[in-house]
Amino acid sequence: MLSPKARLIGLLVIFGLLVTSGLPARAADYPARPITLYIPFPAGGSADLTGRALAHAAARYLGQPVICENKAGGGGTVGPSLLVVRPPDGYTIGISPGSATNAWVMGKLNFSLLEDLTPITRYSAFVFGLVVRSDAPWKTIQELVTYARANPQKVTYGTGGVTTITYMAVEELSLMTGGRLVHMPFKGGADLNTALLGGHIDAISDSTSWGPLVDAGKFRLLVVYGTQRMPRYPEVPTLKESGYDLTFSSALQVVGPRGIPVPIVARLHDAFKKAMDDPEFLTVLKKYDMALTYLGPDDTAKALRSESEQVKKIVQRLGLDKQ
């Protein structure tokens, strides 16, 4: 007759087998059904369109469809937050933007970006800029700053929310110059473009979903936030070239729930890495002037830690940690 201790050990072993039998622990068994990819912004923006192109290309290497679902809200943080409660089986993954890193640093997430998600790969980064309508009185960023300084709280600008680097960029510029603008948050690029076209706001600080409207002559791009000018708009200066010692960027990475088995992470990583060479994906990236920025799982985790420290300094400087 087994002792109580032996019976307990036996039950624990059986329970463990039942739990692990539900997870496809070997890459050869995965994927056996379609995979869902959460996109944390509304349809129609640069993150949505580039994410869908990448997912479509990755599906060919995975042998299963990758179904994209838009989970917008919270400046790009709703999508990653929904991943936390999903099973770590590799069948629900998502895109985590830099705004999720910002929100985590600001204490606005109820989970740890670094501890509760599994990095799979980094694939690109947003290009940011400030645009106004083509009939706006400001031809340069200096003119807008001068007007905002003389007319505090008169100029309104939209972003994807207070956790976005595009919000922090304008607020830091305002702090530096004394030109105070009024912030209005939106869900994403498509809504921002509609609001600016309709005259509901005066400017947009966002990624390049505004590009087609700049090309169409409806928007005017005043400045870009990166270290270099955009090849598409070589006449538009950077913030630094405009006299403001500021640069801002925000990366995009594919992540999943915490605890995805290593072989499945490797399978996903390999498929998405191959997808980054897909001509369709590269065409969409070029359309929005987004660079290919590859990092593997370990390097993505390291980059997120490093970037969170950089964002922490900006958050403290702007007093966003007290909000």
How far apart are alpha carbons 230 and 290 in whole angstroms?
Answer: 10
- For residues 98 and 166, the answer to whether their CB atoms sit within 8 Å is no
For 216, counting Cβ atoms within 10 Å of its Cβ (0-12 exposed, 13-18 middle, 19+ buried), the class is exposed
**Range scoring the smallest mean pLDDT among 54-63, 101-110, 137-146, 276-285:** 101-110
Confidence of residue 228 (pLDDT cuts 50, 70, 90): confident
How far apart are alpha carbons 316 and 128 in whole angstroms?
Answer: 22
pLDDT at position 20 is 44
How far apart are alpha carbons 230 and 53 in whole angstroms?
Answer: 22
HSE (side-chain half, CA atoms, 13 Å) at 14 = 6
pLDDT at position 21 is 45
pLDDT at position 157 is 98
Q: Could you tell me the CATH superfamily of domain 27-125+249-322?
A: Bordetella uptake gene, domain 1 (3.40.190.150)
pLDDT at position 8 is 40
Instruction: Look up tokens 């997808």; give the residue.
Output: 275
Domain ranges of the chain: 27-125+249-322, 128-224
Q: What is the mean pLDDT of residues 186-196?
A: 92
Sign of CA dihedral 236, 192, 285, 77: positive
pLDDT at position 106 is 87
Residues 255-297 pLDDT 10s = 999 999 999 999 999 999 999 999 999 999 998 888 899 999 9
**What's the mean pLDDT when you consider all of the chain?**
89
Specify the amino acid at residue 177. T
The C-alpha R_g of the chain, in whole angstroms, comes to 22
pLDDT at position 34 is 98
pLDDT at position 322 is 62
- Outline where the chain has alpha helix (H): 4-21, 46-62, 78-83, 98-105, 141-150, 165-177, 189-197, 211-215, 262-275, 279-287, 297-318
Q: Are strands 292-295 and 117-126 parallel, antiparallel or unpaired?
A: antiparallel
What would the two tokens of residue 16 be?
A: 């463990």
Beta bridge partner(s), residue 204: 131, 158
How far apart are alpha carbons 47 and 58 in whole angstroms?
Answer: 16
Sign of CA dihedral 298, 301, 303, 309: negative
**Range scoring the smallest mean pLDDT among 107-111, 204-208, 213-217:** 107-111
- For residues 238 and 223, the answer to whether their CB atoms sit within 8 Å is yes
- In this structure, the number of other CB atoms found within 10 A of the CB of residue 72 comes to 23
pLDDT at position 26 is 58
How far apart are alpha carbons 234 and 238 in whole angstroms?
Answer: 10
pTM: 0.76
Residues 29-72 pLDDT 10s = 899 999 999 999 999 888 999 999 999 999 999 999 999 999 99
Within this chain, domains 27-125+249-322 and 128-224 share the same CATH topology? yes
* CATH number at 128-224: 3.40.190.10
pLDDT at position 27 is 61
Q: Output helix, strand, coil percentages for the chain, rounded to the nearest 5.
A: 45, 20, 35
Alpha carbon of 234 to those of 17, 54, 228, 250: distances in Å?
A: 60, 27, 9, 21
Residues 1-35 pLDDT 10s = 444 444 443 443 344 444 444 444 456 789 999 99
Confidence of residue 182 (pLDDT cuts 50, 70, 90): very high
pLDDT at position 323 is 58
Evaluate if residue 238 carries a pLDDT over 60: yes
pLDDT at position 85 is 95
Residue 278 φ then ψ, to 5°: -70, 130
How far apart are alpha carbons 82 and 100 in whole angstroms?
Answer: 12
Specify the amino acid at residue 123. Y
Q: What percent of the chain has pLDDT over 90?
A: 68
Specify the amino acid at residue 15. F
